[in-house]
């Protein structure tokens, strides 16, 4: 490999030719492409240490191109970060600290990273509540030891770096959503929706603000608008198709195209014949590998469809059909019908692979996390949480629940916030 290094070779990172009459070690150090080949094979923790070796190393490792070289698949999900809750679906409030009993990390890959054990430690941030995530970055509400004030931060759990956002308009913040795609841009944006009540107290008006990491500031977008959708929909925005997509389970959903600053509507999932839309329960809603999915059921069942939204927002189409009867044969709890809920299982995530036969659901059944392949219809247990409690102090008296709206995909990223 060293024999291929020539004195006139240029680096893809720096673009500068190497000086003549240099030693082999100097040639390696001066050739960023070769150096990147070496560094990309190191664990993340070692890379973070190497950033302090020199300005040259720091610049190389922080460069967007190096991140792509080290991780050629920036959409690859290696785990889940989840806020457990003892509350049922009806008691959901993603911004209420009392419902969030810390964070749990569930690995999805066989290879265990040496950073896995501390991914739930949002270093420097206290009382952390995750409100949104996108391609390896997390938006959270927390306070710091220096500034004892609850503020919004963008955090990278891989590097342990966080950036504190300037306060958005604080009349009434309904929700914040991250927009970040490492393939399209080295910068991220945050979309905030805040509201005010009319003087007559009869109408609620919403306003959108956009934060850009490139400018470091917020800016207002468009005119105030009204909607029949409940204000809680703005808590769970999903970035897909260049837009933030808010789910409304009582009617058409909303989406906001960030570049065009355009607000549009997204149709509801088709209602089965003989059913009414208000009888449905959303079992899952989220994005994976640039696809937007939803699962909705109308009765206790182990059979359901996974729908995918058309890119032009013309409607939902069936992408996968699922039958969990085989899972029920191993875990009969999945067939039980608990009070106030349709199913004894939860879909916490859907992960698309590079090919369809690598795509799977992550289920939470009887305290266990299962991986269910959407094509081969096979499953396996990936994490057993059945004997864990919310506070680590023995078997929990009330089983903890995990839901899709408090589950966040972890994607390894060296992005510097």
Residue 322 clears pLDDT 70, i.e. is over it: yes
**Is there a contact between 339 and 321 (Cβ–Cβ < 8 Å)?**
no
Residue 11 clears pLDDT 60, i.e. is over it: no
- pLDDT in the model for residue 285: 97
Domains in the chain, ordered, with CATH?
2-70 (no CATH), 79-410 (2.120.10)
Q: What mean pLDDT is predicted for residues 106-120?
A: 70
- pLDDT in the model for residue 112: 55
The angle formed by the CA atoms of residues 108, 302 and 340, to the nearest 5 degrees, is 95
- pLDDT of 58-101, one tens digit each? 677 666 666 665 666 789 999 999 998 765 444 344 444 344 56
Residue 6 clears pLDDT 50, i.e. is over it: no
**Is there a contact between 20 and 8 (Cβ–Cβ < 8 Å)?**
no
Distance CA 195, CA 233 (A): 13
**Is there a contact between 338 and 344 (Cβ–Cβ < 8 Å)?**
yes
**Is there a contact between 136 and 197 (Cβ–Cβ < 8 Å)?**
no
- pLDDT in the model for residue 109: 80
- Between 32-39 and 55-62, two packed helices, what is the crossing angle to 10 degrees? 70
- pLDDT of 228-268, one tens digit each? 988 889 988 999 999 999 999 888 999 999 999 999 999 99
Residue 35 clears pLDDT 90, i.e. is over it: no
- pLDDT of 182-237, one tens digit each? 989 989 999 999 999 988 878 999 999 999 999 999 999 999 999 998 888 998 89
Q: What mean pLDDT is predicted for residues 400-411?
A: 91
- pLDDT in the model for residue 386: 75
- pLDDT in the model for residue 100: 56
The pLDDT-based confidence of 387 (bands split at 50, 70, 90) is: low
With the C-alpha atoms ordered 381, 384, 385, 387, is the resulting torsion angle positive or negative?
positive
Query: DSSP for 229-271?
Result: S-GGGGGG-EEETTEEEE--TTS-EEEEETTTTEEEEEPPPPP
- pLDDT of 281-311, one tens digit each? 899 999 999 999 999 998 888 999 999 999 9
Q: Which of 183-187, 356-360, 406-410 has the lowest mean pLDDT?
A: 183-187
Residue 22 clears pLDDT 90, i.e. is over it: no
- pLDDT of 152-170, one tens digit each? 999 999 888 999 999 988 7
Q: What mean pLDDT is predicted for residues 309-316?
A: 97
Q: Phi then psi for 201, rounded to 5 degrees?
A: 65, 25
The pLDDT-based confidence of 144 (bands split at 50, 70, 90) is: confident
- pLDDT in the model for residue 393: 43
Residue 359 clears pLDDT 50, i.e. is over it: yes
Distance CA 131, CA 156 (A): 14
- pLDDT in the model for residue 17: 55
Answer with the residue of higher pLDDT: 280 or 408. 408
Arithmetic mean of pLDDT over the chain:
82
Q: What mean pLDDT is predicted for residues 46-58?
A: 68
- pLDDT of 361-383, one tens digit each? 999 998 899 999 999 999 999 98
């Amino acid at each position: 490999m060293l024999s291929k290094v020539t004195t006139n070779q240029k680096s893809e990172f720096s673009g500068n030719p190497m000086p003549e009459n240099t030693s082999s070690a100097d040639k390696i150090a001066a050739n960023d492409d070769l150096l990147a080949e070496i560094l990309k094979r190191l664990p993340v923790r070692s890379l973070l240490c190497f950033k302090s070796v020199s300005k040259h190393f720091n610049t190389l490792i922080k460069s967007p191109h190096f991140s792509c070289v080290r991780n050629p698949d920036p959409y690859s999900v290696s785990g889940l970060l989840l806020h457990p809750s003892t509350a049922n679906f009806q008691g959901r409030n993603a911004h209420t600290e009392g419902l969030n009993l810390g964070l749990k990390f569930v690995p999805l890959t066989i290879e265990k990273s040496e950073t896995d054990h501390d991914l739930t430690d949002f270093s420097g941030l206290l009382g952390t509540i995750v409100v949104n995530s996108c391609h390896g970055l997390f938006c959270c509400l927390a306070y710091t030891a220096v500034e004892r004030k609850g503020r919004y931060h963008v955090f990278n759990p891989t590097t342990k770096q966080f950036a504190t956002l300037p306060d958005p308009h604080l009349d009434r913040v309904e929700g914040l959503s991250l927009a970040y795609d490492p393939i399209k841009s080295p910068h991220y944006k945050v979309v905030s929706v805040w509201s005010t009540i009319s003087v007559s107290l009869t109408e609620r008006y919403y306003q959108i603000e956009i934060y850009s990491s490139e400018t470091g500031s917020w800016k207002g977008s468009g005119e105030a608008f009204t909607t029949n959708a409940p204000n809680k929909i703005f808590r769970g925005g999903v970035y897909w198709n260049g837009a933030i997509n808010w789910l409304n389970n009582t009617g058409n959903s909303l989406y906001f195209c960030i570049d065009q600053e355009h607000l549009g509507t997204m149709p509801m999932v088709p209602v089965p014949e003989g059913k009414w839309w208000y009888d449905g329960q959303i079992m899952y809603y989220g994005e994976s590998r640039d696809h937007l999915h939803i699962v909705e059921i109308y009765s206790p069942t182990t059979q359901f469809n996974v729908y995918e939204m058309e890119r032009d927002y013309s409607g939902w189409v069936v992408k996968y059909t699922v039958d969990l009867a085989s899972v029920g044969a191993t875990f009969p709890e999945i067939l039980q019908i608990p009070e106030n809920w349709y199913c004894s299982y939860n879909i916490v995530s859907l992960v698309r692979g590079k090919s369809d036969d690598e795509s799977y659901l992550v289920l939470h059944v009887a305290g266990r996390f299962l991986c269910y392949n959407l094509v081969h219809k096979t499953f396996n247990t990936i994490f057993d949480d059945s004997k864990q409690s919310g506070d680590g102090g023995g078997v929990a008296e009330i089983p903890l629940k995990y839901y899709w709206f408090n589950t966040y995909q972890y994607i390894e990223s060296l992005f510097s916030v």
